[in-house]
Structure 1
Amino acid sequence: MHMQDSLRSVARHSPVLSAVLRAPFSRRAWAEVAYCLIGFPLGLVGGTLLVVVLALGAGFALSLVLAVVGALLLIGGLRLARGLGGVHRGLAGALLGVRTATPPAFRPGGGFVGRVDARLRDGVGWRSAGYVLAKLPVGALGAYAVLWWITGLVNLTAPLRWAVLGQQPEPGDPDGMPLLTPIPFGGPHVDTFAGTWLAVLVGAVTLLCAPWVTRLVVAGDLWLIGALLGPGRLADRVRDLEETRALAVDDSVALLRRVERDLHDGAQVRLVAVAMGLDMIKEGLVEGQPLDVGRIRKLVDGAHRNATEALTELRDLARGIHPPVLDDGLPDALATLTARSTVPVLLSTDVPVRPTPAIETIAYFCAAELLTNVIKHSGARRAEIGVTQRDGLLRLQVTDDGRGGAAAGTGSGLPGLVQRVRTVDGRIDVHSPEGGPTTVTVELPLRA
């Protein structure tokens, strides 16, 4: 209890010192130790085997007689590297919770020569081989990091080993009990029981340093996994382009369906009513029949009203596709938007280079949706909208002093904004802690 109270007191007064003292007892530290313990023999065996296979393959490939055998060995080495890479990705995910996306599957070529050529050009296989080979020194560093834990724990038992196990120096022994250190250059010896407490102090310091040594090695290993065992930048880019293309198609289809629905349920109904009213007026104006002026006037009023409402709905529909206020540029359009807001809005714009119409439209609709969220959901008393250009990007930032807690999937319309922004390789960032304030940042390229 006293130790726990002391740790809590330290944590309140010195967060850095608290992190250092708690590190050896954290679950993360022991998970990293387990990762290093398992990764070292796995990397040693896998790396050695891969070196042998690739070396034999490269040597045979240089020979005219055994070139085919060499190519087959190289192919086998690349397949082995892919498998070992998958094992290392799984180990990092199981012990450290670091999930690395699986690289794309191998795509064989046509015919025997095509398949061999595709295997030898397998970029994922070569990058996996690079990681497995790099794992040899990295795994050795991991084993050295574990040595810090071992020496620290062994030194903590020095008084016990002296008193209970009888590890006192023998008569005539000038050295005594060795004081272990992770530095491989030998260390001092203890020849008295009081000196064993110096070993305890050294062990405690070593244990306090051990988690950070382990973490440094693991961080380097995880960087290699992300760089060499993941899909790669080209594959990530292809996947992003496929996703954004699908989003753009879905967005256009949804827009067409909305336009069709609005036309069918709104303007089309109004225009049909206008046509029917005109037919009835035409029937009431037949020569030779008495003219009912009151009825004709009602029919004309009804047709006029339906035509006016149809025009209004068509105008609103066109405005939803491309707001006319954008004809004069995004700053003027946002000024009109903020002027109509029921919440006071401070607007600042700095757009020296006008973006393309598609980017302006997306930025305008993002601002309109976010301002609607401020009015409906935030309870804010004021808001700010800022638009700037920097490094070839259009940056839209909407801030309010409301209650906060905004998140995607809570009826805020943010998922739709994320999809719309991604169609042009943009991004959206939401920072909305409970109690506020809320800041939503949208970054778009200047050209779609």
Structure 2
Amino acid sequence: MRDTAAGDAPDTPGQQYGGGHGIIGGMPAGPDAATAADSPASRAPALSAVLRAPLSRRAGREVAYLLLGSLLGLAGALPVLVLLALGFAFVVTLVGSVVGLLLTVAALGLALGLGSLHRRLAGSLLGEHVPAPHRPAAHTGPGLFARLDARLRDGTAWRHVSYVLAKLPLSLIGLYAVQWWVVGLINLTAPLRWAVFGQGTHGMLLLTPLPFGGSPTAHSFAGSLLGVVMGLATLLVAPWFTRLVVLTDRWLLRALLGPGELAARVRDLEETRALAVDDSVALLRRVERDLHDGAQVRLVALALGLDMVKTKLADESTLDLDAVRRLVDGAHRNATEALTELRDLARGIHPPVLDEGLAQALETLTARSTLPVELTVDVPERPSPAIESIAYFCTAELLTNVIKHSGATRATVSAVGSPGGGLRLRVGDDGHGGAEAGTGSGLTGLAQRVRTVDGSLEIRSPAGGPTMITVDLPPRA
């Protein structure tokens, strides 16, 4: 660990990716955090959340999803099962094999349609937007059998069938979860029912959602108040039971109705490849612009100055040594500035200090900061040059944003090896916080740069600070 402060702001060659806020914030750690987690102040919000759960919008949406989704699941699973059973039964016979294949394909088509309805229902009620999976072409050749073969080999359709079949028992559980809400609400009306209808011949029945234990009976108005207690207890448990069923359904939706793992990986690789290509094109354009507007102009001025010196030296009769000295001084100045600009440009592509390792590069970077920076480096296994370069530029850009936008008085930088040989980079500050990735935010561009090597970026920046940005990078690009 070290504190550095002095000199110029850290070099940030290339595009700036930071937003207009502080960069990093910490989370409570150690014994104090454990004490805070067990304090009455921390238990009060949890208790309040439990009591408010039955009245929350989330609970209402989840109940509506379970009710509609379960009815759709039951209504859709039965015809799919019938079509599959008839299809398989006909396939085993020689005469009805074509009919069996047609019925099986019909079952696959019905499952695809049901899957689409379930995705829309989850998107509208739960906000779970599962992208539609990529499907192969409808047929691979002419003829009925070619089309049937393509349909039967459609893995996406069979995954939809798996969801429809898995949804069948889950629908029954979902309706049972809805029953908890119905029973709880009915029990809350026990005193009102007693006042209106009385106890009846054998007392007033109080309902229970449990499949065992029977149902208690109230024989007095005071006994009917037990129904209110049972109703409140049931309604306090119902949201969490509902949420458990919904979480299971969400997992099935993503696993079976979304893009397959391989397809998602291919799509991610295509996107990151496009980002890498765009980033390299932007870098080449920046280098071209800097060369054209900077070093090239200096070199042209240098060439013109030397040409003028050569012209004056050629005519010894009118030789003006003072004028020649001024031309030589100007040429020397242009040459020096061109070298400086070329050196800065080269540093923006690959800082020479990285050749000595990431620790030395980060130490040099933080030493140039105008803000006190606490640096920690513990990287037992050196990453690949590409990963070191990304880590260096991420640190430079984030530190620049801390200095410009966060209002912080100090910053922290840590680079440590993560399990599996990766690299975890953290940049933090004690500024006003509020940093977030979004449209027009430089942090979005930084996240895209990290993503090109299968890295990730996490932002913790509550309003008022502090802020903490964590970048996880693999050992090799």
**TM-score, structure 2 as length reference:** 0.86
Residue 3 of structure 1: aligned partner: none
CA RMSD of aligned residues (A): 2.2
Map 1:260-271; keep pairs closer than 5 Å. Answer: 260-271=288-299
Task: Please list every run of 5 or more consecutive structure 2 residues that lacks an aligned counterpart in the other structure.
Answer: 1-39
Q: 1:22 maps to which residue? A: 52
Matching residue within 211, 214, 217 for 2:239: 211
Q: How does 1:334-413 map to 2 (within 5 A)?
A: 334-391=362-419, 392-408=421-437, 413=442
- Identity in percent: 66
Paired with 2:439 and 2:96, the residues of 1 have a C-alpha distance of: 65
What is residue 470 of structure 2 aligned with on the other side?
Answer: 441
Paired with 1:329 and 1:109, the residues of 2 have a C-alpha distance of: 55
Indicate the residue corresponding to 2:152 in structure 1: 120
SS at match of 1:107: coil
Post-superposition offset of 1:289: 4.3
Superposition deviation, residue 252 in structure 1: 0.4
Q: Distance in 1 between matches of 2:86 and 2:154?
A: 19
Q: Which amino acid aligns with 1:298?
A: R
* Structure 1 counterpart of 2:109: 79
Amino acid at match of 1:143: L
Contact 1:142 1:217 in 2 (8 A): yes
Q: Are residue 39 (structure 1) and residue 69 (structure 2) matched?
A: yes
Partners of 2:46 and 2:466 in 1: CA distance: 28
For residues 101-124 of structure 1, the C-alpha deviation after alignment (integer angstroms, 9 at most, x for no partner) is: 222244334204554333222222
Aligned to 2:32: none
Shift in CA distance, 12/381, structure 1 to aligned 2, threshold 3 Å: closer
Mean CA deviation greater in 325-334 or 118-127: 118-127
Aligned to 2:184: 152
Distance 1:160 1:407, change over 3 A: closer
Counterparts of 2:106 and 2:471, CA distance in 1: 48
SS in structure 1 at match of 2:166: helix
Higher Cα radius of gyration:
1
Aligned residues: 434
Q: Give the aligned residue type for 2:207.
A: L
* d(CA) in 2 for partners of 1:399, 1:139: 47
Contact 1:373 1:412 in 2 (8 A): no
The aligned amino acid for 2:205 is P
Contact 2:302 2:334 in 1 (8 A): yes
8 Å contact 1:359–1:446 — kept in the other structure? yes
TM-score by length of 1: 0.91
Runs of 4+ with deviation above 4 angstroms: 10-13, 409-412
Q: Structure 1, unaligned stretches of length 5 or more? A: 1-9, 170-174
AA partner of residue 407 (structure 1): E
Cα–Cα, structure 1 residues 71 and 435, in superposed 2: closer, same or farther, change >3 Å? same
Change (3 A) 1:400 1:15: closer
Q: Return the alpha-carbon distance in structure 1 between the equivalents of residues 440 and 119 of structure 2.
A: 37
Cα distance in 1 for partners of 2:344, 2:376 equals: 27
Post-superposition shift, 1:280? Answer: 1.7
Quick one: higher RCO (CA 8 Å, sep 6+), 1 or 2? 2
Partner of 1:172: none
User: 2:258 matched to 1:230?
Assistant: yes
CA distance in 1, matches of 2:311, 2:42: 90
Asked whether the 8 Å contact 1:156–1:200 carries over to 2, the reply is: yes
Alignment match, 1:54: 84
Are 1:350 and 1:387, in contact at CA under 8 Å, matched by a contact in 2? yes
**In 2 relative to 1, CA 17–332 (structure 1 residues): closer, same or farther, beyond 3 Å?**
closer
CA shift for structure 1 position 412: 6.8
Deviation at 1:211, TM superposition (A): 2.0
User: Whole-Å Cα distance in 1 between the matches of residues 342 and 365 of structure 2?
Assistant: 20
Q: What is the CA-CA distance between 1:416 and the residue it aligns to?
A: 2.7
Deviation readout 1:222-245 (Å, 9 max, x if unpaired): 221122111122222111111110
